Amino acid sequence: MKRNLIGGEWVEGASVRLNINPSDIDEVVGEYAQADASQTLDAIGAARHAQRSWATSGIQARANALEQIGSELLARQQDLGALLSREEGKTLAEGVAEVARAGQIFRFFAGEALRSGGEKLPSVRAQVDVEITREPVGVVGIITPWNFPMAIPAWKIAPALAYGNSVVFKPADLVPGSAWALADIISRSGIPAGVFNLVMGRGSIVGNEIVNSADIRALSFTGSVGTGRHLAQMAAMNFKKIQLEMGGKNPLVILDDADLDIAVDCAIQGAFYSTGQRCTASSRFIVQKGIYERFVERVAEGVRSLSVGHALESTTQIGPVVDGDQLDADLQYIEIGKQEGAKLVCGGELLERRTRGHFLAPAFFADASGEMRIAREEIFGPVACAVPVGTYEEALEVANDSEFGLSAGICTTSLKYATHFKRHMQCGMAMVNVPTAGVDYHVPFGGTKGSSYGSREQGRYAVEFFTTVKTAYTQA
Ligand code: NAD
């Protein structure tokens, strides 16, 4: 059984959770300890105790540890990628790429630890100097979702550690395997006991202690809007710094002048890869009428040819849905789409494979309208719809008519429309002729409106959340 890491010790849980493979629900990937409230408080206490010495350990020590973690992730991308695919269901290629991404992120922040700096300015008072420096926030709570079990923890934990914070990390219930493997690597990187703690367990128990503890000074969360809203309210009670990355309903606009091959590729890649379980997935294609018929026909052809199956099989392009609950939700939305009057062009049915898994044929709806629930609500599965529109202006209006604002794309050969879209689309990430999902790790990530709350993640912009600014005045 894999245990929790609390104060440098591997600790038995209050209970055990089985990690089930969504490609083969008869396979148990492993058994994982579940912490209770008092063990979570122990982890927070250990993190509080260890934080000052980590903050003063020096930038070289921190850079060395992060470099070592990154290098081990990169060296072990094949076996850890397979573990990730077994527990989450994305394909092996996607699992390996995600572990490699996590490795690159740790290496990036090893460099950032060395580049920490400040400013020295003249004061408005003669004889006085002003220095502006960045300090760690303190103990950081990290709560993550199941869909990127390695990359999302990495892009929160790496900057937290780089800037001298200590960490209490609670992964999602469905994916303890990747979290434990990451904790194991971190525990052997030379980081002092208590600086990094892993507490696997329920959101309502472990997560609740993290969000309510006054010792946790900052909380970085990725997950659903409902949980995010609850955490924001709780965190405000003890003035925690908070960063929330939440849902999306990302539009992909296709104009008449688009390169059809690029548009179809962006649509299929963006909507269905990783089984559509990406916060940046394109779930609504907003398509100008002149290209609409050809686009729908080509996307349908592409979707029908996608091979759905066991995540570890080399021919699989689309793995299973993560679990039975998510599968039920996807099927319900497919029914809602039909009832609302959208045309189900292909997919949407359960598939049988050699093993018992949550296999769903990717569902593609045509002739949807921007008012339909399948075009407005986040489904978080392999379900997308096409909405026909007359003009670019109408496309932009439909695209912006959403409570979300994470990622948004346009396929066009017009510089004029591409430029206008980048300026006027209400989103955190705008894509021109590239899929809405798939981002770089050295630049900021995040959204607007109901998709994100707080400062940006990733790249150099991560410093804003994981540090606090101090201004010092000195009279010589
Ligand atoms: P979720 O909100 O159910 O859970 C996220 C995490 O919060 C889990 O670790 C869960 O255990 C924990 N949690 C749940 N209730 C809690 C509580 N009361 N107190 C403290 N913690 C609690 O989300 P999920 O189903 O794991 O993930 C899917 C969602 O994540 C989707 O909405 C998706 O869009 C979103 N997501 C967003 C991004 C982004 O960067 N914007 C990236 C990936 C996923």
DSSP string, 187-234: HTTTPPTTSEEE--S-IIIIIHHHHH-TTEEEEEEES-HHHHHHHHHH
Q: pLDDT digits over 423-435, tens only?
A: 999 999 999 999 9
% of the chain surpassing 70 pLDDT: 100
Q: pLDDT digits over 180-199, tens only?
A: 999 999 999 999 999 999 99
Predicted pLDDT of residue 32:
98
CATH level 3 topology of 251-432: Aldehyde Dehydrogenase; Chain A, domain 2 (3.40.309)
Write phi, then psi, for 17 (nearest 5 degrees): -125, 135
Q: How many whole angstroms from 247 Cα to the centroid of ligand 1?
A: 9
Predicted pLDDT of residue 476:
81
Give how far the C-alpha of residue 96 lies from the chain's centroid of Cα atoms, to the nearest Å.
16
Q: How many CA atoms lie within 13 A of 463 on its CB side?
A: 20
Q: Taking Cα atoms as reference points, which of 101, 117, 137, 207 lies closest to residue 445?
A: 101
Q: pLDDT digits over 316-328, tens only?
A: 999 999 999 999 9
For the chain, residues classed under CATH 3.40.605.10 are 4-246+451-475
Average pLDDT value for residue range 121-132: 96
| Smallest CA separation from ligand 1 atom 23, residue | 223
Q: Do 413 and 257 meet the contact criterion of CB atoms below 8 Å apart? A: yes
What residues line ligand 1, using a CB cutoff of 6 Å?
Answer: 143-148, 170, 172-173, 203-204, 207-208, 211, 222-224, 227, 230-231, 245-248, 279, 378, 380, 406, 451
Q: Is it the case that residue 448 has pLDDT exceeding 90?
A: yes
| DSSP letter, residue 106 | H
Active site residue 119: no
Predicted pLDDT of residue 319:
98
CA distance 262 to 267: 9
CA distance 294 to 366: 12
Please identify which residue in the block is written with the tokens 């705008």: 430
Average pLDDT value for residue range 203-214: 98
Catalytic option among 88, 94, 245, 464:
245
What b-and-e string marks burial along 140-157, b requiring 16 or more CB atoms within 10 Å of the CB?
Answer: bbbbbbbbbbbbbbbbbb
Q: pLDDT digits over 143-190, tens only?
A: 999 999 999 999 999 999 999 999 999 999 999 999 999 999 999 999
Predicted pLDDT of residue 116:
87
| Smallest CA separation from ligand 1 atom 10, residue | 203
As a whole number, the mean pLDDT across the chain is: 98
CA distance 118 to 130: 11
Average pLDDT value for residue range 48-77: 98
Q: Is it the case that residue 89 has pLDDT exceeding 90?
A: yes
Q: How many whole angstroms from 145 Cα to the centroid of ligand 1?
A: 4
Average pLDDT value for residue range 388-393: 98
| DSSP letter, residue 434 | S
Pocket test for ligand 1, best of 34, 142, 143, 327 (most atoms within 8 A of CB): 143
Write phi, then psi, for 175 (nearest 5 degrees): -135, 55
Average pLDDT value for residue range 58-66: 98
Residues 199, 200, 204, 207: is their CA dihedral positive or negative?
Answer: positive
Q: How many whole angstroms from 76 Cα to the centroid of ligand 1?
A: 27
Neighbours of 78 (CB within 10 A): 12
Q: Is it the case that residue 112 has pLDDT exceeding 90?
A: yes
CA distance 363 to 376: 16
Catalytic option among 279, 346, 385, 411:
279
Polymer length in residues for the chain: 476
Please identify which residue in the block is written with the tokens 């009279």: 475
The identity of residue 212, as a single letter, is N
CATH level 3 topology of 4-246+451-475: Aldehyde Dehydrogenase; Chain A, domain 1 (3.40.605)
Q: Is it the case that residue 139 has pLDDT exceeding 90?
A: yes
Listed in sequence order, the residues at least 6 apart from 335 whose beta carbon sits closer than 8 Å to its beta carbon are: none
Active site residue 346: no
For the chain, residues classed under CATH 3.40.309.10 are 251-432
CA distance 451 to 221: 12
CA distance 348 to 382: 9
Q: pLDDT digits over 232-284, tens only?
A: 999 999 999 999 999 999 999 999 999 999 999 999 999 999 999 999 999 99
In the structure encoding, which two tokens stand for residue 188, read together?
Answer: 């052997």
Predicted pLDDT of residue 134:
97
